[in-house]
Chain A
């Protein structure tokens, strides 16, 4: 972290090149190799087992798909596209819906979370209603949105936004509530206005909570977009899945699933980068090194 402490280290290591460091390094390298061997082994075991069981006829590939079939289907999808536009344009539709829903949902979540966290009165008035709405299975709202807004992208964005909103809202609210009383008192005595307190103290403090919620929130944005598409759409990965289901094509469903998980992993990676950037002030926690 600190430049002062890391700078002299290589010089010392070069000078002595002692066996303890070399031994520690090779032990670390061996551990990494073992972990990767385990990971690859597990993948070969699961996918190979699936392929073998379907090939031997123990499991019917007609219902449960087959890894080689999934790979073939994936290539077909990318090369030949679908009955409703190229596969790329379908992917783009879903990404667009999820992304817009994610942005709208998290922004409103943060705004409401901060507002209610700041104002006791607002929290007391709106609190029970928010809990009630949160108790509704919100996926069902998708049907209403489709009836109201047709089968374009709008209802999917709305559904994704609603799912994202509640996750981000509860975290932002909690984050605002956890702001250190001393820091708050200090800022007030130094002459900060209410707006300055929100900008310099409340939001940065709640950011730890908000960012943590964004990780799971993007997954929900994708779920919202997909469910919306399954309920009724002209394009999108949800429609690809629904079509594959209607054609008794499990390989098509699995192939699309694979693409979706790549999208979510990519988004996760971007959010991780954002997190490291925005929260660079945090001391490195011991759990981070061993974390997933």
Chain B
């Protein structure tokens, strides 16, 4: 509850116009021209919806176009067919109020921790003093107070992720897009970071699209899990996760019977796709 007050004090329009955080993906198709001149269909008629403030995880085998979907939600890429609508408006150019977290570090190595977190407000033209205060506040929230003047290379992988998280959340986005954000971390750090992410997410409640290979992570974090097929990518099935919130520690939740049940259910659907994708890469394309 205290955290809710935190949000109320910060100057965001936030909770009032949450309807604009609804993501509707309909009939999304993306084709690429390969260097050999052939047309490669990465995505075929992908449709799903993320309700405002919902945490949606997308799982699927390698190369099923998960990342491509995300870049079209953020407006970094254009669909060949179909559309992405955010808050009822079709995405056309960079979507406003979106933050992105990548698997690889997207921190600027030549800026200090503080400088990196400051980027969001500075790019939006927030006055310097106000931006500084907000950046310091966010660094404190992710537990990095006292590290403001370090450069990214002086931090551990987990700390760099925290900086990236603060940098992504400081603009209080209505939509947070995460492309395997914790994929490169070790298992323990990953669990800690996931718990922290849930905590921060509950404070500002953006709609989240979260890509992962890790089914446990998907079930533990999300309200909705979208399973995708291997190439061309399309939606195979959508599961609603009815585990109660706040979920608390990500490590603990794994032992609840309902978690295990859901995990099994989704895995049955996913396994087939994973095996198919594996066969097509391992079996050789002769």
A residues contacting B by CB (< 8 A) are 1-2, 180, 182-183, 185-193, 196, 200-201, 204-205, 207, 279, 281-283
A244 to chain B, nearest CB (A): 47
B residues contacting A by CB (< 8 A) are 71, 74-76, 94, 96, 98-100, 102, 104-112, 119-120, 122-124, 150-151, 153-154, 167, 171, 177
Tell me which residues across on chain B come within 8 A of A182, comparing CB atoms.
102, 104-106
Interface centre among B71, B106, B122 (most CB of A within 10 A): B106
Is A281's CB under 8 angstroms from B111's CB?
Answer: yes
Given pairs A189-B75, A191-B96, A201-B108, 17 additional interface contacts (CB within 8 A): A183-B107, A185-B76, A185-B100, A185-B102, A186-B106, A187-B123, A188-B76, A189-B76, A190-B120, A191-B124, A192-B119, A196-B123, A200-B108, A204-B111, A279-B110, A281-B110, A282-B153
| Bound Cα distance from A279 to B110, whole angstroms | 8
Closest B residue to A197 by CB, please name it: B123
Q: Determine chain A's interface SS by DSSP, over half rule.
A: helix
CB pairs A–B below 8 angstroms (23 shown): A182-B104, A182-B106, A183-B107, A186-B100, A187-B119, A187-B123, A189-B74, A189-B98, A189-B100, A190-B99, A190-B119, A190-B124, A190-B167, A191-B94, A191-B123, A196-B122, A200-B108, A204-B108, A204-B110, A205-B110, A281-B110, A281-B112, A283-B153
Total of A-B residue pairs, C-beta within 8 Å? 71
| Bound Cα distance from A201 to B123, whole angstroms | 12
A164 to chain B, nearest CB (A): 24
Tell me which residues across on chain A come within 8 A of B120, comparing CB atoms.
190-191
| Bound Cα distance from A205 to B108, whole angstroms | 9
> Which of B105, B119, B151 contacts A281 (CB under 8 A)?
B151
Is A200's CB under 8 angstroms from B106's CB?
Answer: no
Is A192's CB under 8 angstroms from B102's CB?
Answer: no
Is A192's CB under 8 angstroms from B123's CB?
Answer: yes
| Bound Cα distance from A194 to B110, whole angstroms | 19
Q: Assuming A1-B154, A191-B124, A200-B119, is B171 touching A282 (CB within 8 A)?
A: no
Closest A residue to B167 by CB, please name it: A190
Is B104's CB under 8 angstroms from A193's CB?
Answer: no
Tell me which residues across on chain B come within 8 A of A282, comparing CB atoms.
109, 153
B77 to chain A, nearest CB (A): 10
